[in-house]
Amino acid sequence: MNRPLLLSLAIGACAVALPARAQLTRPAAEQALAREIYKEFIEIPSGYTTGSTTPVARAAEARLRAAGFPAADIHVDGPDPRKLNLVVRYHGSGARKPLLLLAHTDVVEAKREDWTMDPFQLIEKDGYFYGRGTGDDKAQAAVWIANLIQYKKEGFTPDRDLIVALTADEEGGGPFNGVDWLLTNHRDWIDAEYALNEGGWGESVDGKRIANDLQVSEKYVLNLRFEVRNKGGHSSLPVEDNAINHLAGALDRVAHFGFPLKTNEVTAEYFKQIAKTESGALKADLEQVAAGSQAAMQRVAKGSVSWNATLRTTCIATMLEGGHAMNALPQLAAATVNCRVLPEDGADYVLSAIRKVVADTAVVVTSARGEHGPSSPLRADVVQGVTKLTQEMWPGTVTIPIMVMGGTDGRSTRAAGIPTYGVQGFFFDRDDIRFHGRDERMRVRSFYEGHAFLYELVKRLSATTPAS
Ligand SMILES: [Zn+2]
């Protein structure tokens, strides 16, 4: 039988269910602590424009100090009194380089009037936890702290330092991003062999678990400005050389242009694994995409907005300005074109490709700086560790490496040479993701299972004899 060989190589589901070894949830006392910290974090309004992350950092610090962590191992610091970050180091034997456990503590704004309940109260109802940040990203923040406290209680000695960083202002950009600040000012506090972060979660359909995502890569944002200037004139004497017409033509050409369809190491693996969750013609197409078939890529991209975005760099008009009077020829017409770029496509390539498509010298196309981070390598210890634990906890659930369209702080850590993996073990219904939206929620069961998943995963990744 070659199955054992295949099993050691495959990173997806295997046909044979492995005997369950990992616990699905942690003991009640540990769950109670995790929930308490979660509640405390959720109930601190840390919206990135109106709130502050400092009380979250202080709350975590108080928990850690009460659990016996020495003050010397905890830093609460940042560029602004309202934007403090917390970094705590749990000492291991030092046999290997540290493991960084990241979570952000700011949240997208939530208005009471938009929600059906108070967004800054943890409400448990109908099997869900409701509140801003229940999914993004205070569950992971709370779980990192609760588990660190538990490791200390057990006297667990990892073979590497475990560093938890709870950071400010991941959402919405701005000058106070905690990860960027730490990398620039206190790299030594968070320097690590690699990091675990948000960005990958479990996908379920009506509560049925399908896939546990492992985010290893993300597209980056490149904003282009299209600008046409013109001397204008009276609208009763129209001329062909009209700024708005130039711009409209350019945008229309961009709308009908598609960047080449292709896969990379990560997305090829993604399509290979996601094929296992489908059937029929679609399954065959997804397998062929993984194998590099252009025809299959065309079909798959046409059938799904998100698969299209996975297979190519995209650019789309998002904002417009132009004209100054109803009866005047416009002197300015401008648009913002928002590009989401594959990690392997350079900003210069995208800019020159778009200029070629625009093919009109009256339209000046310029770009803002694109932040560009590499993909994280598909490290065998992380990929196999996540796959094996996922199989043990939720037999039949595949582990899928993904590239995400949105951004996380992993962009900065990857660019700084710390490979970063988004993995949580919290499962959300694929068609009901409420991050950033109203009535954000997390299944109660999922919270406790993610708590157990991350407890076990971090232990295995920092044990002297790694689980085979
Ligand atoms: Zn987030």
The domain spans of the chain are: 10-217+374-461, 219-367
Q: Report the separation in Å between the CA atom of 56 and the middle of ligand 1, taken as the mean of its atom positions.
A: 15
* Residue partners of 465: CB distance under 8 A and separation at least 6: none
Instruction: Fold for 219-367, please state it.
Output: Alpha-Beta Plaits (3.30.70)
For residue 174, the model assigns a pLDDT of 78
Q: Enter the pTM of the model.
A: 0.84
Query: Mean pLDDT per segment of 10 residues, for the chain of length 468 residues?
Result: 29 44 92 98 94 97 98 98 98 97 96 96 98 97 98 97 97 88 98 97 90 93 96 95 98 98 94 93 97 98 92 96 96 96 93 98 90 84 96 95 87 94 94 89 97 98 69
Separation of 198 CA from ligand 1 center, angstroms? 6
Q: What is the pLDDT of residue 2?
A: 28
User: Which pLDDT does position 465 carry in this prediction?
Assistant: 59
Alpha-carbon separation of residue 92 from 101, 150, 356, 402, 459 (angstroms): 14, 15, 55, 30, 11
Residue in this structure with the two tokens 């008009």, named with its chain if needed? 317
Cα–Cα distance measured from residue 315 to residue 88, given in angstroms and rounded to the nearest whole number: 40
Burial class (CB in 10 A: 0-12, 13-18, 19+), 140: buried
CA of 281 to the centre of ligand 1 (A): 35
Residue 409 CA to ligand 1 centre (angstroms): 8
Ligand 1 centre to CA of 269 (Å) is 24
Give 62 Cα–ligand 1 centroid separation in angstroms: 24
- Terminus-to-terminus CA distance in the chain, angstroms? 20
Euclidean distance between CA atoms 401 and 395, whole angstroms: 18
Compute, in angstroms, the gap from residue 425 CA to the centroid of ligand 1. Answer: 15
CA distances from 247 to 228, 278, 316, 318, 355 (A): 7, 42, 14, 13, 13
Using the mean position of ligand 1's atoms as its centre, give its distance from the Cα of residue 223 in Å.
21
Cα(113)–Cα(119) distance, integer angstroms: 10
CATH 3.60.15.10, applies to 10-217+374-461 = no
CA of 19 to the centre of ligand 1 (A): 34
Dist. CA 155–CA 153, nearest whole Å: 5
Give the CA diameter of the chain: 83
Query: Fold identical between 10-217+374-461 and 219-367?
Result: no
